[in-house]
């Protein structure tokens, strides 16, 4: 398949090294152009948890067009790569699927050396942390990453979007070959199947996402619902963003600091969402307007007590309320959980939910890994069928060239005096027969010599079937 991946992630390298190897911003565009000089296309995936280079090893030597693009040290392995490439292409016809192991290894070394030079780090310092996969192992790794099976948070969906962004960057730089583009399409389709056909991403495993999940379990008709955000800190910002993203029609922000509240309001406002900012002292009045309450203030005192909640319920005519208390110490009186029509969840309650969900994801990951293995086999088979078409074209072109040569020689002889056309045609027929039967005869002798009875039977029966077809 010629696919290789070289990289580091949160499992193999500390954050200090991942920071130094990160490829972001303009670095990615420059890197893609430089890697293009010695690959058949590449994609760079760089996030807070991983930096990976996915690339296709080229069929032929890639030293051409390299001068002026790479440093002297990056050029040092070109001759080794060229020699490895030539060793795998001595024959007139060679399968597009058969690239020598030495050639692939040489290109992997080249990519490693390039990465070290590009980031101005000694290769000896980063090599112990780099992992390398090739061919179907590289495909398996890419699919596991895209499906969230290799993420720090098992099953998280963000990585697939990050990979798509990386692919768009490669497309913008015009460094994607047709073959790599085909592989990428297969990876995206397979990752979608893994997420749709297993439960690996079905359960919430972050506080903010778990809070949003609770909202969907308790309320429908979200555009008619109101979210009350008590305190505009980072945790509440994440919760509010997730819940607002569900389509909640109104958000009220109560905060001591009006500037921070206005900043959060600006993030949450949308064409179908109204966002109001109120001072924290108005909390008792606005509580009755809220269907959903998320509080995380850091205050040492309760902000919402039982009496305030009962009064709010009366004004709401006892319509249900969901209260999420993410604060430690707590912002909401725990005795409120005994009130009918109020669903109160503390940070510990959410952690218990998350812990159970993580275990469910781990169990679902077993099914997901099995599906990944099956999908890789399917993709590899489709790849082989796709590639053999090119091999057949190349084989036919090679054979046609030999036939044309023999025909040209025979026509030239026919133009000579004192020649027998019958003899020339007979000789042409004999040489054509030798030419067309040479390759299968050589393959049968090789199979017999090596004791490969299955291959021998396959070739013989295939040729017999072909002759019967005529």
H helices then E strands: how many in the chain? Answer: 17, 10
Say if residues 164 and 43 touch (Cβ distance below 8 Å).
no
The Cβ of residue 442 has, within 10 Å, a number of other Cβ atoms equal to 10
Total length of the chain: 470
Please give the Cα distance from 136 to 108 (Å, whole number): 15
Residue 344 CB partners (closer than 8 Å, separation 6+): 323, 325, 332, 334, 336, 337
173's CB contacts (< 8 A; 6+ apart) are 29, 32, 33, 36
Tell me, yes or no, if 48 is annotated catalytic: yes
CA 102, CA 245: separation in Å to the nearest integer? 51
Asked if 129 and 12 count as a contact pair (C-beta separation under 8 A), the reply is yes
CB-CB contact of 393 with 236 (8 Å): no
**Catalytic, out of 48, 254, 296, 398:** 48
Q: What is the DSSP letter of 57?
A: P
Quick check: 230 and 293 in contact, CB under 8 A?
yes
Show the tokens assigned to 244: 């607002």
Q: In the numeric block, which tokens belong to residue 425?
A: 């045609």
The first and second tokens of residue 443, run together, are 């393959």
Supply 395's token pair. 């084989």
**Measured between alpha carbons, how far is 153 from 208 in angstroms, rounded to an integer?**
14
> CA–CA separation, 211 vs 190, rounded Å?
29
Structure tokens at 353: 């939910």
Query: Exposed/middle/buried for 168, CB within 10 Å: 0-12, 13-18, 19+?
Result: exposed
For residue 52, the SS3 value is strand
Instruction: Compute φ and ψ for 37, nearest 5 degrees.
Output: -65, -25
Cβ atoms of 341 and 218 closer than 8 Å: no
Residues taking part in catalysis? 48
């Amino acid at each position: 398949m010629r696919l290789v991946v070289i990289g580091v992630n949160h499992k193999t390298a500390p954050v200090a090294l991942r920071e130094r190897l990160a490829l972001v911003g303009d670095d990615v565009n420059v890197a893609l152009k430089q890697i293009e000089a010695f690959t058949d296309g590449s994609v760079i995936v760089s996030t807070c948890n991983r930096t990976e280079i996915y690339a296709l090893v080229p069929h032929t030597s890639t030293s051409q067009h390299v001068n002026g693009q790479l440093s002297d040290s990056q050029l040092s392995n070109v001759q080794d790569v060229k020699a490895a490439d030539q060793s795998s292409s001595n024959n007139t016809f060679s399968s597009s699927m058969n690239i020598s192991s030495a050639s692939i290894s040489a290109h992997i070394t080249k990519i490693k050396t390039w990465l070290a030079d590009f980031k101005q780090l000694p290769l000896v310092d980063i090599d112990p942390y780099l992992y390398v996969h090739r061919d179907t192992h590289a495909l398996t790794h890419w699919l596991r990453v895209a499906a969230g099976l290799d993420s720090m948070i098992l099953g998280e969906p963000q990585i697939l979007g990050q990979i798509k962004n990386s692919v768009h960057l490669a497309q913008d730089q015009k460094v994607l070959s047709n073959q790599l583009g085909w592989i990428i399409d297969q990876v995206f389709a397979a990752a979608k199947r893994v997420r749709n056909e297993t439960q690996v991403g079905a359960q919430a495993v972050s506080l903010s996402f778990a809070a949003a999940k609770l909202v969907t379990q308790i309320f429908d008709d979200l555009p008619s619902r109101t979210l009350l955000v008590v305190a505009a800190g980072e945790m509440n910002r994440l919760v509010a963003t997730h819940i607002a993203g569900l389509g909640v029609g109104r958000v009220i922000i109560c905060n001591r600091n009006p500037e921070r509240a206005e900043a959060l309001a600006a993030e949450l406002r949308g064409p179908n969402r109204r966002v109001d900012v109120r001072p924290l002292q108005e909390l008792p009045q606005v509580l009755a307007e809220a269907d959903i309450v998320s509080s995380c203030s850091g205050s040492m005192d309760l902000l919402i007590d039982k009496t305030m909640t009962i009064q709010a319920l009366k004004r709401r005519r006892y319509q249900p309320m969901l209260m999420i208390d993410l604060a430690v110490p707590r912002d909401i009186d725990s005795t409120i959980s005994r009130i009918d029509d109020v669903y109160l969840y503390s940070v510990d309650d959410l952690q218990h939910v998350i812990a159970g969900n993580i275990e469910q994801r781990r169990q679902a990951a077993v099914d997901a890994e099995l599906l990944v293995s099956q999908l890789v086999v399917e993709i590899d088979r489709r790849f082989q069928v796709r590639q053999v078409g090119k091999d057949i074209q190349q084989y036919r072109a090679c054979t046609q060239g030999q036939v044309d040569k023999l025909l040209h020689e025979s026509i030239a002889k026919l133009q000579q005096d004192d020649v027998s056309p019958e003899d020339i045609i007979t000789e042409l027929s004999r040489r054509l027969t030798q030419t067309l039967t040479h390759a299968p005869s050589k393959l049968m002798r090789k199979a017999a010599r090596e004791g490969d009875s299955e291959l021998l039977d396959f070739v013989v029966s295939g040729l017999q079937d072909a002759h019967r077809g005529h």
